[in-house]
Amino acid sequence: MTAPVLVSAYPASPAHERWDPALEAELLPALCALPGVGGLEVPWMGGLHPYDDAWFLANVPAVALAVTPIPFVMRRLGDDPRYGLASVDEDGRAAAIADLQGVAADVARINDESAASVAVVTVHTAPRAAGAGEPLVRSLHEIAAFEWSGARLVVEHCDAFVPGQVPEKGFLTLDEEITAIRAAEVPIGLWLNWGRSAIELRHADAVTAQIATAAASGLLTGLAFSGAAPVQGPYGAAWVDAHLPIASTHPESGSLLDEAQVLEALTAAGHVDWLGLKVARRPEDVTAADALRTVARNLAVVRAAG
Query: Which residues have C-beta within 8 Å of that of residue 46, sequence separation ≥ 6?
Result: 72, 99, 102
pLDDT mean over 209-218: 98
CATH superfamily of domain region 5-305: Divalent-metal-dependent TIM barrel enzymes (3.20.20.150)
Number of H helices, E strands in the chain: 11, 8
Q: Where are the domains of the chain?
A: 5-305
pLDDT at residue 1, as a whole number: 54
Q: What is the mean pLDDT of the chain?
A: 96
Contact between residue 84 and residue 77 where contact means Cβ atoms under 8 Å apart: yes
pLDDT (tens digit per residue) in 50-107: 899 999 999 999 999 999 999 999 999 999 999 999 999 999 999 999 999 999 999 9
Max Cα distance, the chain (Å): 47
Whole-angstrom Cα distance, residue 94 to residue 222? 27
pLDDT at residue 306, as a whole number: 84
Among candidates 30, 32, 28, 17, which has minimal Cα distance to 59? 28
**Alpha helices for the chain (secondary structure H):** 9-12, 21-32, 53-59, 70-79, 90-113, 133-144, 174-184, 194-201, 204-216, 259-269, 288-305
First to last CA, the chain: 4
Query: Which residues have C-beta within 8 Å of that of residue 145, sequence separation ≥ 6?
Result: none
pLDDT at residue 18, as a whole number: 86
pLDDT at residue 273, as a whole number: 97
pLDDT mean over 204-225: 98
Whole-angstrom Cα distance, residue 226 to residue 238? 14
pLDDT at residue 16, as a whole number: 77
CA angle 120-123-126, nearest 5°? 165
Name the DSSP letter for residue 251.
Answer: G
pLDDT (tens digit per residue) in 117-142: 999 999 999 999 999 999 999 999 99
